[in-house]
């Protein structure tokens, strides 16, 4: 990762270079490198990390998905050398798309992978771990006054720019534009921004 690296620590650059990652595989927030899900999965494959089948939803709330994700890292001989587990959670409060099970599984897999590879020690976190960053984005990045909790013009403009830049499923793009037309809240705008930033950029 050779471009725009001044703000990254030596450890962060070492982690990125080890896996041949570019700036397109990350976004930055308050000194943290936020790695995109697709990049985490590429690393997991390279490091021979395999995930066990997800068996059930541990949430007692019908509107919340909480999945236990377990993964193992194998050596060249096919022997397990390290294991880790993590919960992945998803709900309408922290996920803009309706595929809650899928998002929860992604979050769990990213957490397990970064645990096994020491990504957290390099201050590198997964973009699907959006809760903390979403709250900070709402309060820091878009701090202009908002009446009745409505999204700012800056947020709407930023979302439209992300829709142009990132590869978005057609149905999801229609849903986002419908939300914008119907009157987007500041909180939901933050959810959408975080989700769009996790998607691959258009080629």
- Contact yes or no for 72/49 (Cβ under 8 A): yes
* pLDDT for the residue numbered 130: 46
In terms of residues, how long is the chain?
Answer: 203
Choice between 174 and 135, residue whose per-residue pLDDT is larger: 174
Q: Is the dihedral of CA 159, 168, 185, 30 positive or negative?
A: negative
Longest dimension (CA), the chain: 61
CA 158 to chain centre: 18
pLDDT at 61: 86
Q: Which of 58-62, 89-93, 184-188 has the lowest mean pLDDT?
A: 184-188
Token pair 């570019």 is found at 22
Q: Which residue has the tokens 């258009």?
A: 202
Q: Rounded CA gap, 133 and 126, in Å?
A: 10
Could you tell me which residue, 68 or 3, shows the higher pLDDT? 68
Q: Is residue 25 over pLDDT 50?
A: yes
Q: Which residue did the predictor score with more confidence, 153 or 140?
A: 153
- 202: helix, strand or coil: coil
pLDDT at 8: 67
Give the pair of three-digit tokens for residue 74: 């194998």
According to the model, what pLDDT value does residue 44 have? 95
pLDDT-derived band of residue 129, with 50, 70 and 90 as boundaries?
A: low
- Whether 115 contacts 84, CB under 8 Å: yes
Mean pLDDT of 191-202: 73
- Predicted pLDDT at 49: 96
Percent of the chain with pLDDT over 70: 75
DSSP H or E stretch at residue 164:
helix 153-165
Mean pLDDT of the chain, nearest integer:
77
Residue 121 has pLDDT above 70, yes or no: no
Judge whether 1 and 27 are in contact, CB under 8 Å.
no
Burial pattern 48-65, b for ≥16 Cβ within 10 A else e, equals ebeeeebeebebeeeebb
Answer whether residue 145 shows pLDDT above 70. no
Q: For CA atoms 33, 111, 175, 153, give the dihedral sign.
A: negative
Query: Terminus-to-terminus CA distance in the chain, angstroms?
Result: 18
CB atoms within 10 A of CB 160: 13
């Amino acid at each position: 990762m050779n471009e725009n690296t001044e703000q990254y620590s030596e450890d962060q650059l070492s982690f990125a270079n080890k896996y041949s990652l570019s700036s397109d595989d990350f976004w930055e927030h308050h000194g943290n490198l936020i790695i995109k899900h697709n990049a985490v999965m590429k690393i997991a494959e390279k490091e021979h990390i395999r995930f066990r089948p997800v068996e059930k939803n541990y949430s007692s709330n019908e509107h919340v998905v909480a999945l236990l994700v377990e993964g193992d890292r194998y050596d060249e001989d096919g022997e397990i050398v390290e294991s880790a587990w993590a919960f992945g959670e998803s709900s309408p409060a922290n996920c803009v798309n309706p595929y809650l099970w899928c998002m929860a599984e992604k979050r769990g897999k990213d957490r397990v992978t970064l645990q096994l590879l020491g990504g957290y020690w390099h201050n590198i976190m997964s973009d699907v771990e959006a809760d903390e960053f979403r709250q900070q984005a709402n309060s820091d990045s878009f701090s202009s006054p908002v009446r009745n909790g409505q999204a700012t013009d800056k947020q709407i403009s930023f979302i439209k720019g992300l829709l142009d830049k990132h590869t978005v499923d057609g149905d999801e793009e229609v849903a986002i534009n419908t939300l914008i037309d119907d009157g987007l809240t500041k909180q939901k705008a933050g959810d959408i921004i975080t989700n769009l930033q996790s998607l691959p950029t258009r080629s």
